[in-house]
Amino acid sequence: MRISKKIIVLAITVGSLASVKATPRDTTFHADGNPIIRHKYTADPAAMVYKDKVYLYTGHDEAAPGHNGYTMHDWTCFTSTDMVNWTEHPSPMNVKEFKWAKDDAWASQVIERNGKFYWYVAVEHGTIHGKAIGVAVSDSPLGPFKDARGSALVTNDMTKAVKHSWDDIDPTVMIDKDGQAYLFWGNGICYYAKLKSNMTELDGEIKTITLPHYTEAPWIHERNGWYYLSYAYEFPEKIAYAMSRSINGPWEYKGIINEIAGNSNTNHQAIIEFKGKWYFIYHNGALVPDAGSFHRSVCIDYLYYNKDGSIKRVIVTSEGVKPAK
């Protein structure tokens, strides 16, 4: 009996140590130019500035070497106080968090409201054919995030502007100056809708925006009274944008700001201001000789405006950005 007790205690101790050892930890690294992350494949960047720190959320390409197809099961989170020295945190969320979802941890964005953090994500729905948009919530920008609804926010049967089943992807979210939150998304057409103050329900009808050569990847931001709606243009994808004095439009197309991403047929942007400078965050396929469209890597370059508020062409560089001060 004594031996049995010792064996049990030893087994429990070893198991506990193994559990502790297996717990993911924060790791730090210095970005040596573009791509900024080189130890794993990252895609579809979205960034948020919160309390003098940048939170970078990405998709995670895990396709086998040379495989031409998306394999994406979780999202990643990195933080920085200077855009060059980064901390990688344990993955804040896996697609399995959404019990109603099948797979495909595609593009996403996080936003803060009233001390809570809401993460809008595109996934494959488990029972309703096609892609869907879910929303998760956390008390911390680092997670863990939990499904905020127990069901999808947007499903393919709610949107009829285009006929294919993957039009409900690439959510981007913004809270306007009057406190009204808006969600934009879409492949083949740009959808948008108001969000209720709880950030987990649509408030009113889903509307569409007609933009030249629109493919996907909308990103909404505001500067000096101008609203900017950037998006992936044609396929392979460039990045173009439109401007408006109202988040509800009308939108005036202004042109291309970023050319086709190197070795990647998709292009997906985030645009943020941090410590007085504007940044254009995107992905390319620079770390692999082939199948780069499914083994993507996040990059960062500067974004500049003209005096009239229009955006200058983004110059893509290997050197990337300097430490922000």
Q: Nearest Cα to 153, choosing from 176, 179, 122? A: 122
For residue 101, the SS3 value is strand
172-175/297-302 β-pairing: unpaired
Instruction: State phi, psi for 197 to the nearest 5 degrees.
Output: -65, -20
277-284/270-274 β-pairing: antiparallel
Q: Is 32 a catalytic residue?
A: no
Catalytic residue among 88, 104, 216, 301: 216
Q: Residue 324 has what DSSP assignment?
A: P
Residue 188 bridge partners (DSSP): none
Q: What angle do CA 266, 169, 203 make, to 5 degrees?
A: 145
Which position has the token pair 């047929």?
265
The dihedral region occupied by 179, where left means phi > 0, alpha psi between -120 and 50, and beta the remainder, is left
How far from chain centre, in Å, is Cα 108?
Answer: 4
**Distance of alpha carbon 281 from alpha carbon 271, whole angstroms:** 6
215-226 exposure pattern, b = at least 16 Cβ within 10 A, e = fewer: bbbbbbbeeeee
Q: Is 173 exposed, middle or buried (0-12, 13-18, 19+ CB in 10 A)?
A: buried
Q: Is 290 a catalytic residue?
A: no
Q: Nearest Cα to 76, choosing from 51, 49, 103, 95? A: 95
How does DSSP assign 212-240, residue by residue? TTEEEEEEEEEETTEEEEEEEETTTTEEE
Number of helices (H) and strands (E), helices first, in the chain? 1, 21
Catalytic residue among 44, 147, 168, 237: 44
The residues carrying an active-site annotation are 44, 216
